[in-house]
A and B are shown apart, each in its own frame.
Chain A
Amino acid sequence: MQPEDRLDALLSLRVHGASQPDEASSAHALNGYHGGNEDLQPLLDANDRLSALRIAEPSTDFADQLEALFLATAASMENDDGAEWTSQPHDAGWLPVREAPPLIGNDDPTLPGIPWRRMDSEATETDATPLRRLPIGSLRQTTWRRLLWSAVAAALLVAIGATTLTAAAAAGPGTPLYGLHRWEQNVQVSMASDPAARTQLHLSYAQDALAALNVAITRHQTDSTYDDALATFRDEMNAALSNLHAVSTGNGRDTLEARVAQLRTQGSSDLHTALASLPWPKRVATTIVLYNLGNMTLTVTHADLVYSSGGQHLWTITVTGSGFQSGAVLLINGQPAGTVTSVSPGALVAQLPGDDSSPSPGTIGVGNPDDTASVTSSITNHEAGDDSSGAQQTPGAQTTPTTDDHGGSGSDNSGSGSGSSDTSAATPTPSDGQP
C-alpha cells in the first residue's frame, strides 16, 4: 500500500472514525501497519494540530445575528421582486420555524456601535435586524463589482454600436439607417489615400445608388426610396467629377474618365426610363439630374400671368424657356393645368380659368411629352391692359435647371409693390394648379 493510501486510511480513522464502509475496510487493512507507520507520524501529528480548527464554533451571538440578516435579506429580495410569499406550510414538521427578529420600537437596548438596518416608519420587523460591522462590509459595493458593471455596460454599448453600424452598412435608400449608411460611406471616402481612390469610391457608390433607384422604380417605390437613391446618385456623381479633376494624368485617370462616361450614359438611360413611372414633381427633380449629366433638357426661365377680368375670369399664362416640345403641358405647382394654346421651342402659352381669390402658384412649369419637366418660381402677374412696368415678379426666382430643385424658396409672388390697380392681396391669381 502506498504511503498516500495509508495516510488516507489513517486519516479516515482519525477524522471520521472510519464511518464509511470502504474506509473502515481500509483501516482494518492497516492493522498490520499500525506498528510500521512511523514514517507517517509527523503527518498525522500535523493533522492532529488541525483539531483546534475542527472544533471551532462561531459565537452564538454572531450566528444568530447573521441568521437574522440572512433571512431578512431573502425577505427583502422577495419583496423587491414583487413575488408572492412562497413559504411552504410547515405541516410536514421538518422545517424549523425561525424566531422572529425583534420588533421595531421594542425596549431591548441596541448594542453600542450596532446600527439598525432601517428606522423609517415603513420598516418591517425583518428590517429591525441589527447590522453589526458584518453586514456593512457585505453591503458595500466592492470595487471589482463596480468595474465589472462598467465593463459590462461598455461591452454592451460597443455591441449595440457594432450591431447598428453593421445594420447600417446593409441599409438601403428609404430606410431609417440610410443616413448612417451614407455617413459610413463618407468616412470611407475621407480615409481614402488619394483622389483616384476617392473617385473610385464615389463611382462605386453612385453605381450602387443607380441600382437601388432602378429597383425602386421596378417596385414602384417612388417615395423616399427613390428620392434617397436619386440624391445619392446625383451627389456621388458630382463628387466623382470633382475628385476626377484632381487625379493626375497617367494615374489611372483614363480609366476613371471612361468609367465616369459609362456611368453617365447608363444613368441617363435609366433616368429617362424611370421618368414615365414618376409623378410630375419627381420628374422635375429627375430632369435636373439629367441636365447635370449633360443631357439636353428643357428649361423654364420665366412665367407671365395675365388676368382678364372682362367677364371671362381667365388667366393667360406665357412660359418662356427652351426645349419645349410639341404637346407640352403647363404645370401649376407641379401638376398639369390649363389648356395649352401654343407651343414653340422657347415659349408656351396656356389659358387657365380662375378667379381672383385663389392664392398665387408657387411654381409654374412645362412638362414635355418625353416626361422631362422644368419649373420656375419667377412669375409676374398682370391684369389685362397693364404694361410691363406694372409687372409683379417674384424675387430670387430660379429659372434654369441646376443641382437645386426648381421649386426653391421665394415661391410666394404675392408681394407688395404691384403696379396693377389691385392691391397685392387682391391680385388675381390662377387656382391652385388644379384644372
Chain B
Amino acid sequence: MTWPSSLPFELALERARVLDQGALTMLYRRFMPVVYRFVLARVSGVQVAEDVTSETFLAVVTGIRGMRATDELTFAAWVLGIARNKVATHFRRQSTQPATRPWLPEDDQPITVADEGDPLAIITARESWAEVVAALNQLTEEQRAVVLYRCVLGYATDDVARLLDRQANAIRALQFRGLASLARHLNAAASVTSPGGKQHTVRNVRKAREEGGNGDAT
C-alpha cells in the first residue's frame, strides 16, 4: 500500500493513538506486509508466520496508545521491534533454536508473485525461500537484522541505521559480512543433494520439460 502523499504520517499516528479506525486501517495496510515478510524470513512456515504476524498486530493495537513514535521510521522500528520479540517468543516456545528445514510441505509455501507464473518459477521461488530462511537463521542477530531491513524490507542504509540506532558505516559493514555469510550458507545448502523423495528441484523440472513432461518432476 502506498502512503497517501496528502496525509501526514504524524497525523495518522496521532489519530491511531486514540484508536481511530481509519488511521488504524491505514497503518495496518501499510505495515502488515512488512511485518509479514520480516516474520516469514525468520520462521519455518506460512502458518507460523501468520500466527506471529497476528500476535504482533494484536500487541500493536494493545500498545498503540502508549506508542511514542513520531514519524514513519520510528513507528516502523516500534512495530518491527514487537515483531522481533514475537519471533523470539515463538522460538522460546519451541524451546530450541529454529531448525533448518530445507523442504517444506506443499501447503506451507509462501505466496509470491511467481505463483502466477509457470511451474518452474514457482518451484524456484519455493526452493529459494526455504534455503534462504535456513541460511538467514545462521546469521548473527545484527547481521540478520541489517540484511532483512536492507535487502528484504527495502529500507535505505541511513534508515536502517536509524532503525537499529547504529552508524551508517556500521550498517554497511554488517551488511557486507551478513551477505558474505549468507552466501556461504546458501552455497553450502546448494551443495547438499537430495537423492530422492518428493522434492522439487530446478534441475528435475528442467529435465522433465526437456523430456516433454508437464514439469511435475519428482
- Could you tell me which A residues sit within 8 Å of B by CB distance? 3-5, 7-8, 11-12, 15-16, 20, 23, 42-47, 49-59, 62-63, 66-67, 69-71, 73-75, 77-78, 83, 86-88, 90, 92, 94-98, 133-135, 137-139, 142, 144
What residues on B are CB-neighbors of A98 within 8 Å? Answer: 21-22, 25
14 contacts between A and B (CB under 8 A): A12-B157, A42-B180, A44-B179, A47-B151, A49-B182, A56-B37, A58-B50, A59-B46, A66-B57, A86-B19, A96-B29, A135-B54, A138-B51, A138-B55
**A70-B25 Cα distance, complex, nearest whole Å:** 9
Nearest 5 A-B pairs (CB), nearest first?
Answer: A95-B22, A134-B54, A46-B183, A43-B179, A52-B129
Interface check B2, CB cutoff 8 A: no
Are the CB atoms of B58 and A69 closer together than 8 Å? yes
Interface check B192, CB cutoff 8 A: no
What residues on A are CB-neighbors of B25 within 8 Å? Answer: 67, 71, 95-96, 98
Are the CB atoms of A56 and B36 closer together than 8 Å? yes
Are the CB atoms of A96 and B22 closer together than 8 Å? yes
Q: Which residue of A lies closest to B131 (CB)?
A: A49
How many chain B residues sit at the interface, stated as a range, is: 35 or more
- Take A11-B151, A45-B183, A133-B51 as given contacts and tell me if A55 and B32 are in contact as well, using a CB distance cutoff of 8 Å: no
Are the CB atoms of A54 and B37 closer together than 8 Å? yes
Q: Which residue of B lies closest to A77 (CB)?
A: B19
Are the CB atoms of B58 and A87 closer together than 8 Å? no
- Take A20-B156, A49-B132, A86-B18 as given contacts and tell me if A67 and B29 are in contact as well, using a CB distance cutoff of 8 Å: yes
Are the CB atoms of A94 and B151 closer together than 8 Å? no
**A319-B115 Cα distance, complex, nearest whole Å:** 115
Interface check B173, CB cutoff 8 A: yes
Are the CB atoms of A73 and B62 closer together than 8 Å? yes
Task: Give the shortest distance, in Å, between B61 (CB) and chain A (any CB).
Answer: 5
Are the CB atoms of B33 and A58 closer together than 8 Å? yes
Task: Give the shortest distance, in Å, between B63 (CB) and chain A (any CB).
Answer: 10
List B residues 15-34 near A (Cβ within 8 Å): 15, 18-26, 28-29, 32-33
**A75-B62 Cα distance, complex, nearest whole Å:** 11
Task: Give the shortest distance, in Å, between A59 (CB) and chain B (any CB).
Answer: 6
Interface check B213, CB cutoff 8 A: no
Q: Which label, helix, strand, loop or mixed, suits the secondary structure of the B interface?
A: helix
What residues on B are CB-neighbors of A57 within 8 Å? Answer: 33, 36, 110-113
Q: Looking at the complex, which one of B37, B58, B176, B183 makes contact with A70 (CB distance below 8 Å)?
A: B58
- Take A43-B180, A74-B61 as given contacts and tell me if A90 and B22 are in contact as well, using a CB distance cutoff of 8 Å: yes
Are the CB atoms of A54 and B154 closer together than 8 Å? yes
- Take A7-B175, A77-B61 as given contacts and tell me if A53 and B37 are in contact as well, using a CB distance cutoff of 8 Å: yes
Task: Give the shortest distance, in Å, between A2 (CB) and chain B (any CB).
Answer: 8
Interface check B114, CB cutoff 8 A: yes
- Could you tell me which B residues sit within 8 Å of A by CB distance? 4, 6-7, 15, 18-26, 28-29, 32-33, 36-37, 40-41, 46-47, 50-51, 53-55, 57-62, 64, 89, 110-114, 125-126, 128-129, 131-133, 147, 150-152, 154, 156-157, 169, 172-173, 175-176, 179-180, 182-183, 186-187
What residues on B are CB-neighbors of A12 within 8 Å? Answer: 156-157
**A15-B18 Cα distance, complex, nearest whole Å:** 36
Q: Looking at the complex, which one of A15, A58, A96 makes contact with B26 (CB distance below 8 Å)?
A: A96
Are the CB atoms of A15 and B154 closer together than 8 Å? yes
Are the CB atoms of B57 and A8 closer together than 8 Å? no
**A51-B36 Cα distance, complex, nearest whole Å:** 15
Q: Which residue of B lies closest to A26 (CB)?
A: B157
Are the CB atoms of A87 and B57 closer together than 8 Å? no
Task: Give the shortest distance, in Å, between B123 (CB) and chain A (any CB).
Answer: 11
**A63-B37 Cα distance, complex, nearest whole Å:** 13
Are the CB atoms of B150 and A15 closer together than 8 Å? yes
Are the CB atoms of B151 and A15 closer together than 8 Å? yes
What residues on B are CB-neighbors of A23 within 8 Å? Answer: 156-157
What residues on A are CB-neighbors of B169 within 8 Å? Answer: 4
- Take A56-B37, A67-B25, A96-B22 as given contacts and tell me if A4 and B180 are in contact as well, using a CB distance cutoff of 8 Å: no
What residues on B are CB-neighbors of A11 within 8 Å? Answer: 150-151, 175
Are the CB atoms of B32 and A63 closer together than 8 Å? yes
What residues on A are CB-neighbors of B57 within 8 Å? Answer: 66, 69-70
What residues on B are CB-neighbors of A63 within 8 Å? Answer: 32
**A133-B52 Cα distance, complex, nearest whole Å:** 11
Q: Looking at the complex, which one of A20, A70, A86, A142 makes contact with B61 (CB distance below 8 Å)?
A: A70
Are the CB atoms of A75 and B22 closer together than 8 Å? no
Q: Which residue of A lies closest to B125 (CB)?
A: A52
**A1-B113 Cα distance, complex, nearest whole Å:** 36
Are the CB atoms of A46 and B19 closer together than 8 Å? no
What residues on A are CB-neighbors of B157 within 8 Å? Answer: 8, 12, 23
What residues on B are CB-neighbors of A44 within 8 Å? Answer: 179
What residues on A are CB-neighbors of B36 within 8 Å? Answer: 56-58
Task: Give the shortest distance, in Å, between B215 (CB) and chain A (any CB).
Answer: 19
Q: Which residue of A lies closest to B12 (CB)?
A: A95
